[in-house]
Amino acid sequence: MNQDELKAQVGRAALDYVVDGELIGVGTGSTVDCFIDALAASGRRIAGAVSSSVASAARLNAHGIRVLEAGEVEALPVYIDGADEIDPRGFMIKGGGAALTREKIVADLAECFVCIADASKLVDVLGRFALPVEVVPMAARRIARRFAALGGQARVRQGVTTDNGLIILDVSGLAITDPLALETEVNQWPGVVTVGVFARHRASLCLLGTPEGVRTLRF
Ligand code: 5RP
């Protein structure tokens, strides 16, 4: 099975966590695209979706699935999203698709975060994937210097403006042994909108696509 087939496999498996008649939170990325397509093909009846990006909202709309604004709902039973890396405790790096801020907002509404990922995303220690951080442009250099003091090299992601009109720094060279501490620290830095460490909003469970089938990791 290639990576696309593994993503399709977990996209379908995530249907088991969709609650009929309820709203669902929907993330962003190629794995989530597989889930959206599987949801549409399944004919399952849901009340609608809250999306973490313009791109996912467009895909949901194209399938005729009603999309609500995050501000219109008080809670979601389930949020389904991918990850760039996930560790054995359910901590994640997200934001490869530049949607991390809205992803954290929608995840915050959800009682259960179901991460869907192919097996290449499971790592012992987060940080091989450059950590995305959404920032206000005038603070970018100061934030880059702060990361340098932690041993990281921050680069502005070229040609990308987020759905919020901001920029992304990708920070390489970090070994994130304490995700909660790093998230807490970086959240204090002026100009940081969202850091792509999902520790406070870690996965409740992960559906991991492997050639032998879907593994369910519970955290
Ligand atoms: C977008 C994300 C995605 O979940 C992450 O990049 C994984 O994407 P893909 O499913 O395409 O591998 O965080 O901001």
Task: Answer for the pair 169, 188: CB distance below 8 angstroms, yes or no.
Answer: no
In the reported structure, the alpha carbon of residue 170 is separated from the centroid of ligand 1 by a whole-number distance in angstroms of 14
pTM: 0.97
pLDDT tens figures, 172-193? 999 999 999 999 999 999 999 9
Long-range contact list for 69-74, CB < 8 A, 24+ apart?
Answer: 70/102, 70/105, 70/106, 70/109, 73/23, 73/109, 74/109
List the catalytic residue out of 72, 74, 85, 103: 103
Task: Classify residue 72 as left (phi > 0), alpha (psi -120 to 50) or beta.
Answer: alpha
The pair of three-digit structure tokens given for residue 151, joined into one six-digit string: 């041993």
pLDDT tens figures, 143-174? 999 999 999 999 999 999 999 999 999 999 99
Quickly tell me which residue has 């609500």 as its tokens. Answer: 68
Q: How confident is the model at residue 70 (pLDDT cuts 50, 70, 90)?
A: very high
Closest ligand 1 atom, residue 98 Cα: 14
Burial of 30 (0-12, 13-18, 19+ CB in 10 A): middle
In the reported structure, the alpha carbon of residue 21 is separated from the centroid of ligand 1 by a whole-number distance in angstroms of 27
Q: How confident is the model at residue 41 (pLDDT cuts 50, 70, 90)?
A: very high
What's the length of the chain? 219
The pair of three-digit structure tokens given for residue 89, joined into one six-digit string: 């405790």
Look at residue 219 in the predicted model and tell me its pLDDT.
97
The C-alpha angle 31, 16, 78, rounded to 5 degrees, equals: 75
SS3 call for 166: coil
How far the first Cα of the chain sits from its last, in Å, is 26
Residue type, 136: V
Going by their DSSP bridges, the two strands 192-195 and 76-81 should be labelled as unpaired
Task: Answer for the pair 79, 112: CB distance below 8 angstroms, yes or no.
Answer: yes
List the residue whose alpha carbon is closest to atom 7 of ligand 1. 83
pLDDT tens figures, 11-31? 999 999 999 999 999 999 999
For residue 96 and ligand 1, the question of a CB distance below 6 A is answered with: yes
For residue 206 and ligand 1, the question of a CB distance below 6 A is answered with: no
Average pLDDT value for residue range 121-138: 98
In the reported structure, the alpha carbon of residue 144 is separated from the centroid of ligand 1 by a whole-number distance in angstroms of 23
Residue 103 annotated among the catalytic residues of the structure: yes
Neighbours of 81 (CB within 10 A): 31
All structural domains of the chain: 3-123+200-218 (3.40.50.1360), 131-195 (3.30.70.260)
Residue type, 20: D
